[in-house]
Amino acid sequence: MTDIEDHIREFARVQPTVAGPELARFITAMRRLQDIVVSTDPEASVWDDTAALLEDVCTRLENDVAPAGVSPVGRARNLPGHGHPMAPPWTVADSSPDAVTMQGHFTRYHVGGNNAVHGGVIPLFYDFHFGLVVSAAGRPDSRTAYLHVDYRRVTPIDVPLTARAWIDSVDGRKLFVRATMTDIDGNVLSEANGLMIKLLPHQP
CATH number at residue 22: 3.10.129.10
- At 11, the pLDDT band (50, 70, 90 cuts) reads very low
Residue 85 included in any domain: yes
Buried b (16+ CB within 10 A) or exposed e, 20-56: eeebeebbeeebeebbeeeeeeeeeeeeeeeeeeeee
pLDDT tens digits, 130-188: 999 999 999 888 999 999 999 999 999 999 999 999 999 999 999 999 999 999 999 99
Q: List Cα–Cα distances, 203 to 7, 15, 51, 61, 87, in angstroms.
A: 11, 19, 39, 30, 24
Residue 124 included in any domain: yes
Contact 159, 183 (CB under 8 A): yes
Distance in angstroms (rounded) separating the CA atoms of residues 192 and 154? 15
Residue 203 included in any domain: no
Please give the pLDDT value at position 13.
62
Residue 191 included in any domain: yes
Among residues 153, 137, 147, the alpha carbon closest in space to that of 178 is found at: 147
Residue 16 included in any domain: yes
CA end-to-end span of the chain, whole Å? 22
- Say whether pTM exceeds 0.85: yes
Please give the pLDDT value at position 67.
84
Residue 9 included in any domain: yes
18-27, 50-59, 62-71, 178-187: the lowest-pLDDT one: 62-71
pLDDT at 204 over 80: no
Number of domains in the chain: 1
21 lies in which domain range? 3-198
